Amino acid sequence: MTANTIAIIDYGMGNLHSISKALQHVAPEQNIIVTAQSQQILNADKVVLPGVGAIKDCMLEIKRHELQQTIIQASQSKPFLGICLGLQALLSHSDENQGIDGLNIIAGQVHQFQSQHLKIPHMGWNQVKTKAHPIWENIADNRYFYFVHSYYAQVDNLDYQIGETEYGQKFCAVLAKDNIVATQFHPEKSHEAGLQLLRNFANWNGE
Amino acid sequence: MTLAKRIIPCLDVDNGRVVKGVKFVDIRDAGDPVEVAKRYHREGADEITFLDITATSDNRDTMVHVVEEVASQVFIPLTVGGGIRQLEDIRTMLNAGADKVAINSAAVKTPEFVKQAADKFGSQCIVVAIDAKQVDQDWEIFTHGGRKATGIDAIEWAKKMVTYGAGEILLTSMDKDGTKSGFDLELTAKISESVPVPVIASGGVGTLDHLVEGILQGKADAVLAASIFHFAEYSIHEAKQYMANQGIDVRL
Q: Among partner residues B71, B122, B197, which is closest to A120 by beta-carbon distance?
A: B197
Residue to test with chain A: of B8, B124, B237, B250, most A Cβ within 10 A: B124
Q: What is the ipTM of this complex?
A: 0.92
Per-residue confidence (pLDDT) for residue B56, from 0 to 100: 67
Task: Tell me the β-bridge partners of A146.
Answer: A125
Q: Which residues of A touch B (CB under 8 A)?
A: 14-15, 17-18, 21-22, 25, 52-54, 119-127, 129, 142, 144, 146, 148-150, 165-167, 186, 188-191, 194-195
Query: A122 and B73 in contact by Cβ < 8 A?
Result: no
Query: Which residues 6+ apart lie within 8 Å of A29 measured at CB?
Result: A3
Query: B124 and A126 in contact by Cβ < 8 A?
Result: no
How far the first Cα of chain B sits from its last, in Å, is 14
Instruction: Show residues of chain B in contact with A150, CB under 8 Å.
Output: 123-124
Least confident among A43-57, A80-94, B206-220: A43-57
Question: How much of chain A exceeds pLDDT 70, in percent?
Answer: 99
Mean pLDDT of chain B: 92
Smallest CA–CA separation between B221 and chain A, in Å? 9
Q: Is B13 left (phi over 0), alpha (psi -120 to 50) or beta?
A: beta
3-class DSSP state for residue B232? coil
**CATH number for A169:** 3.40.50.880
Smallest CA–CA separation between B215 and chain A, in Å? 14
Helix axis angle, B236-245 to B208-216, nearest 10°:
50
Q: Among partner residues A21, A52, A119, which is closest to B221 by beta-carbon distance?
A: A119
Q: Which chain B residue lies closest to A193 (C-alpha atoms)?
A: B75
Q: Which amino acid makes up residue B181?
A: S
Give the domain range for residue A119: 5-98+107-203
The CATH classification number of B6-245 equals 3.20.20.70
Residues of B with catalytic function: 12, 131
Query: B6 and A148 in contact by Cβ < 8 A?
Result: no
Q: What is the pLDDT of residues B93-136, one digit of tens each?
A: 998 999 999 999 999 999 999 999 998 888 999 999 999 999 99
Q: What is the pLDDT of residues A25-36, one digit of tens each?
A: 999 999 999 999
Per-residue confidence (pLDDT) for residue B57, from 0 to 100: 66
- Burial label for B171, CB within 10 Å (0-12, 13-18, 19+), is buried
CA B40: distance to chain centroid?
A: 15
Per-residue confidence (pLDDT) for residue B58, from 0 to 100: 67
- Residue spans of the domains in chain B: they are 6-245
- Element holding A112 (H helix, E strand): strand A108-112
d(CA B168, CA B127): 5
3-class DSSP state for residue B127? strand
Query: B6 and A188 in contact by Cβ < 8 A?
Result: no
Helix axis angle, B154-163 to B185-194, nearest 10°:
30
d(CA B190, CA A168): 23
Query: Which residues 6+ apart lie within 8 Å of B181 measured at CB?
Result: B204, B206
Long-range contacts (CB closer than 8 Å, 24 or more residues apart) made by B135-140: B139/B184, B139/B187, B139/B190
Q: What is the pLDDT of residues B165-190, one digit of tens each?
A: 999 999 999 999 989 999 999 999 99
Instruction: Show residues of chain A in contact with B222, CB under 8 Å.
Output: 124
Choice between B1 and B226, residue whose per-residue pLDDT is larger: B226
Per-residue confidence (pLDDT) for residue A24, from 0 to 100: 96
d(CA B165, CA A86): 22
Instruction: Show residues of chain A in contact with B125, CB under 8 Å.
Output: 52
Q: Among partner residues B97, B121, B196, which is closest to A119 by beta-carbon distance?
A: B196
Per-residue confidence (pLDDT) for residue B60, from 0 to 100: 76
**Number of independent structural domains in chain A:** 1
Q: What is the pLDDT of residues A150-187, one digit of tens each?
A: 999 999 999 999 999 999 999 999 999 999 999 999 99
Is the pLDDT score of A95 beyond 50? yes
Q: Among partner residues A15, A122, A127, which is closest to B95 by beta-carbon distance?
A: A15
Q: Is the peptide bond before A121 cis (omega within 30 degrees of 0)?
A: yes
Instruction: Show residues of chain B in contact with A85, CB under 8 Å.
Output: none
Active-site option among A61, A65, A84, A191: A84
Choice between A17 and A95, residue whose per-residue pLDDT is larger: A95
d(CA B181, CA B35): 29
Mean pLDDT of chain A: 94
d(CA B77, CA B99): 6
Query: B71 and A123 in contact by Cβ < 8 A?
Result: no
Active-site option among A25, A65, A188, A207: A188
Query: A124 and B96 in contact by Cβ < 8 A?
Result: no
* Cα-based distances in Å from B236 to A152, B6, B7, B181: 31, 11, 8, 19
Per-residue confidence (pLDDT) for residue A1, from 0 to 100: 46
Q: What is the pLDDT of residues B33-58, one digit of tens each?
A: 999 999 999 999 999 999 998 866 66
